[in-house]
Structure 1
Amino acid sequence: MGETSQTPKSLKAQITRTSLVLAAAALLREEGPRAVTYRKVAKWAGAASSSVGYYFDSVTQLLHEAGRYNIQLWGERAERVATTAEALPPEECRERLAELLVSASLPDDSIAPAGHYSQLIAAAEAPAVTEAYQKGRVMLELAISRILRHGGVTTMPPRMVGTVVDGAAIAALSEGYDVRDFAVSLVQEALQAYERTEGGE
């Protein structure tokens, strides 16, 4: 988490401030931007309500840092999946490509897909969160690029992977399918379409 004008100097104060960001990030994931208030963040962090106003100039600043933290978690997971993919022989990576891409694109199993997508949609209510997510998505797409490259796919853009996974997830949630399985099947179809393009068909 980056420093701001309110970055505390003592270790105890740093711990308090970090706990407030973590509480705000959890609220943002589970209930959306409107739930991130000074009082509720303080309650979730087990801190005094006045401490939120002491460390953060506004709810907007707190939302921005919470959004940065959430997208960082997502991006770091994607990087771990990319590292795993690059450790595989290229042929095995190619065989598992759809599964790896979906694993990089979705949050881990500790976060319910419905909550994850509700959070992303609700971000439109808070420009500070939207800005944080826009910047963080670069990290996510770099990881997806690494996986595609190691799998030998050169024409499919990383943004297309995210679009297919997000569309599959929303469809699966609304139609009662398993999100991960449905996303893997649609990404596999998209990969096959791009393979035909690469083959000149």
Structure 2
Amino acid sequence: MAPPDTRTQILDAAERLFGERGYRGTSVRAVTDLAGANLAAVGYHFGSKAELLAAVVRRVVDPINAAQRAALDRLLDRTPDPSVAELVEAFAGPLFDETPADDEGGARTSRLITTILSDPAEEARSWTGPEQDTVGEHYLAAFARALPGLAPEELRFRMRGILAVAAVDRIEVDTPDSTACPAPVVGKATRHWTITFLTAAMSAPPTRL
């Protein structure tokens, strides 16, 4: 098997470091040092550190987005009004199903997702493009029909919670206790527990302030 090219090596190194240290805590030099690349390679391949983050996140998120979109399309082909449980399954399931199956890769991907959801740096919130925004808006509309009592702001908050909880639980799947059940058993159970919990959380009555 041929070794990864320089661009891929930089993406792999950046995914690990952004996930561990966040945007501001990760320097371009640290990325290129880990990748074994020249310092100028980030500028050549990506243009800037912010564009490198965007490329890293899209590499991780695009397969998840595609699976979310396909799952929602299947639901809407079957019924115009899917249940909350069906929507949660379609939205959260790809966090388990479309991330790397190996322990190291899956945990790294999940750490990156939790980081971009919580990182205060503006760059961590400006990586999205039309594709990601469109999928999110379609789910927002579907959840709004299933949960008509929720204000849009609270619904968006709960949808972010789906991503955060699923990503954290996926980290647990990929770093199992060596004395516990085998990883495939843990993964299947955790996926089920996560979706059951998130369905209940999404279905909770609106918050009264």
- TM-score category of the 2 structures, normalised to the smaller one: 0.5 to 0.7
Residue in 2 aligned with 1:119? Answer: 112
Residue in 2 aligned with 1:153? Answer: 147
Residue in 1 aligned with 2:160? Answer: 162
Corresponding residue to 1:99 among 89, 101, 117: 89
Q: TM (normalized to structure 1)?
A: 0.58
Residue in 2 aligned with 1:38? Answer: 32
Task: Name the CA shift for 1:193/1:83 in 2 (closer, same or farther; >3 Å).
Answer: same
Corresponding residue to 1:27 among 7, 10, 13: 13
Q: Which amino acid aligns with 2:133?
A: V
Any conservation in 2 of the 1:82–1:104 contact (CA below 8 Å)?
no
Task: Name the CA shift for 1:162/1:107 in 2 (closer, same or farther; >3 Å).
Answer: farther
Any conservation in 2 of the 1:24–1:66 contact (CA below 8 Å)?
no
- Following superposition, the deviation at residue 131 of structure 1 comes to 2.7
Distance in structure 2 (CA, Å) of the matches to 1:192 and 1:76: 25
- Following superposition, the deviation at residue 64 of structure 1 comes to 3.3
- Following superposition, the deviation at residue 121 of structure 1 comes to 4.2
Distance in structure 2 (CA, Å) of the matches to 1:134 and 1:104: 19
Q: Which amino acid aligns with 2:200?
A: E
- Kindly provide the CA deviation profile for residues 30-62 of structure 1, in whole angstroms up to 9, marking residues without a partner as x: 44364862354575xxxx775544344443432
Distance in structure 2 (CA, Å) of the matches to 1:88 and 1:164: 23
Q: Which amino acid aligns with 2:112?
A: Q
Between 131-140 and 73-82, report the one with greater CA deviation: 131-140
Distance in structure 2 (CA, Å) of the matches to 1:56 and 1:101: 30
- Following superposition, the deviation at residue 163 of structure 1 comes to 0.7
SS of 2:204's partner is: helix
SS of 2:55's partner is: helix
Identical positions, percent: 11
Task: Name the CA shift for 1:31/1:181 in 2 (closer, same or farther; >3 Å).
Answer: farther
In structure 2, list runs of 5 or more residues that go unmatched.
177-185
Corresponding residue to 1:144 among 132, 139, 162: 139
Any conservation in 2 of the 1:168–1:186 contact (CA below 8 Å)?
no
Distance in structure 2 (CA, Å) of the matches to 1:113 and 1:193: 30
Task: Name the CA shift for 1:80/1:31 in 2 (closer, same or farther; >3 Å).
Answer: farther
Task: Name the CA shift for 1:172/1:73 in 2 (closer, same or farther; >3 Å).
Answer: closer
Any conservation in 2 of the 1:77–1:104 contact (CA below 8 Å)?
yes
Q: Which amino acid aligns with 2:109?
A: H
- Following superposition, the deviation at residue 87 of structure 1 comes to 1.7
In structure 1, list runs of 5 or more residues that go unmatched.
1-15
Residue in 2 aligned with 1:185? Answer: 196
- Kindly provide the CA deviation profile for residues 116-141 of structure 1, in whole angstroms up to 9, marking residues without a partner as x: 33113444386534431598863452
Distance in structure 2 (CA, Å) of the matches to 1:69 and 1:169: 16
Structure possessing the higher radius of gyration over alpha carbons? 1
Task: Name the CA shift for 1:192/1:159 in 2 (closer, same or farther; >3 Å).
Answer: closer
